[in-house]
C-alpha cells in the first residue's frame, strides 16, 4: 500500500498535523454485529452499517464537547482515519490492545473487530495507560488460515503483503481484473478470515444490531443492478468501490452467482 509510505513522519508525530499537540487519546469502537452474512457471497463485517468514519468522528466531537464542559481550556481535534496518523500504533501505546500476528490491533475486551479514533489535544494528560504485552502466545491461526499467505514473518515481525490480501484487492485495487489466483474465500468486499479464527474474537460482546431488513439488502447485492447497488451502499463503507469493481469482485468470489442485467 504505497499511500502508507507517504507522510510517514506525520504518522508517528501528530505535532506535524496539529502544531500545539501535547497528548493523544485513543478510542475503540466495536463493530461486532449481531448477525453475519452466511451466503456464498460475503462482505466484511465493518461494512454492514453506516460508514464508521462519520459515526465515530461525530462521537469524538461529542466527547470533546463534554470534556470542555468540565475543562473549558481543553482544546482538541478528532481524527478517524482522515489524516496520516498511525491508529494502531497509538492505540497500542495507549494500552488498548496489542498488534496481533494478523497485523491488527487486538483488544482484550473487544477483540479485533474494532474501529480506532484519536483525540489529539493541546492539554497534557498526567494519567496515562501503559502498553499491554502481546497475548497471542504461540497461536498462529490467522497466519495459517489466510488463503493467500498474505501474513509473513520478516525479521521476527509479522507483516501484511497487501498484494496478496483479499481485503486490499477487493477494496483498494482499481485494476479491471483481480490478481489471477487470488483466493477470496467468498468475500466480495474486504475479508474477515484472519479475524474469524482468532481466539480473542470468540466471546466478544455484540455492539452493532443488524436488523433483518438491512441484512436482506446486503444479501441481495449479489444480484443487484447498478442503481440498487448505489442506493444500498450510499453512506456505507461499501461506497468505497464502484459498481464495476463490485462485479469484478463477484466474478472471483462467486463465479456462478446470477445477477440482473
Contact 248, 178 (CB under 8 A): yes
Q: Which residue out of 81, 140, 155, 161 is catalytically annotated?
A: 81
Distance CA 88, CA 117 (A): 9
In Å, how far are 36, 46, 48, 205 from 30, measured between CA atoms?
Answer: 15, 9, 13, 9
B/e letters for 3-13, b = 16+ CB within 10 Å, e = fewer, are eeeeeeebbee
List C-alpha distances in Å: 258 to 225, 226, 250.
11, 14, 10
Helix-then-strand count for the chain, H and E:
9, 9
CB 249 within 8 A of CB 233: no
Say if CB 74 and CB 121 are below 8 A apart.
yes
Q: How many CA atoms lie within 13 A of 51 on its CB side?
A: 17
The span from the CA of 115 to the CA of 159, in Å, is 20
Interacting residues of 119 by C-beta distance below 8 A, sequence separation 6+: 24, 25, 27, 60, 63, 64, 76, 77, 78, 79
81 is catalytic: yes
Which residues are the active-site residues? 81
Amino acid at each position: 500500500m504505497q499511500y502508507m509510505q507517504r507522510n510517514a513522519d506525520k504518522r508517528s508525530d501528530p505535532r506535524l498535523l496539529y502544531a500545539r499537540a501535547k497528548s493523544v487519546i485513543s478510542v475503540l469502537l466495536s463493530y461486532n454485529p449481531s448477525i453475519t452474512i452466511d451466503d456464498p457471497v460475503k462482505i466484511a463485517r465493518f461494512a454492514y452499517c453506516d460508514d464508521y468514519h462519520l459515526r465515530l468522528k461525530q462521537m469524538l466531537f461529542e466527547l470533546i464537547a463534554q470534556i470542555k464542559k468540565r475543562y473549558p481550556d481543553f482544546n482538541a481535534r478528532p481524527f478517524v482515519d482522515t489524516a496520516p496518523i498511525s491508529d494502531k500504533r497509538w492505540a497500542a501505546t495507549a494500552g488498548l490492545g496489542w498488534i496481533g500476528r494478523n497485523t491488527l490491533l487486538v483488544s482484550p475486551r473487544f477483540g479485533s473487530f474494532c474501529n480506532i479514533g484519536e483525540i489529539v489535544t493541546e492539554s497534557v494528560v498526567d494519567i496515562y495507560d501503559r502498553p499491554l504485552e502481546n497475548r497471542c502466545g504461540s497461536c498462529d491461526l490467522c497466519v495459517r488460515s489466510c488463503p493467500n499467505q498474505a501474513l509473513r514473518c520478516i525479521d521476527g515481525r509479522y507483516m501484511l503483503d497487501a498484494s496478496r490480501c483479499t481485503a486490499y484487492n477487493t477494496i483498494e485495487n482499481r485494476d479491471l481484473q483481480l490478481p489471477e489466483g487470488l483466493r477470496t474465500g467468498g468475500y466480495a468486499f474486504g475479508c474477515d478470515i484472519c479475524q474469524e479464527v482468532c481466539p480473542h474474537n470468540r466471546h466478544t460482546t455484540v455492539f452493532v444490531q443488524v436488523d433483518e431488513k438491512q441484512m436482506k439488502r446486503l444479501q441481495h447485492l449479489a444480484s443487484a443492478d447498478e442503481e440498487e447497488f448505489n442506493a444500498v451502499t450510499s453512506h456505507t463503507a461499501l461506497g468505497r468501490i464502484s459498481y464495476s469493481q463490485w462485479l469484478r469482485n463477484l466474478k472471483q468470489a462467486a463465479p456462478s452467482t446470477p445477477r440482473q442485467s
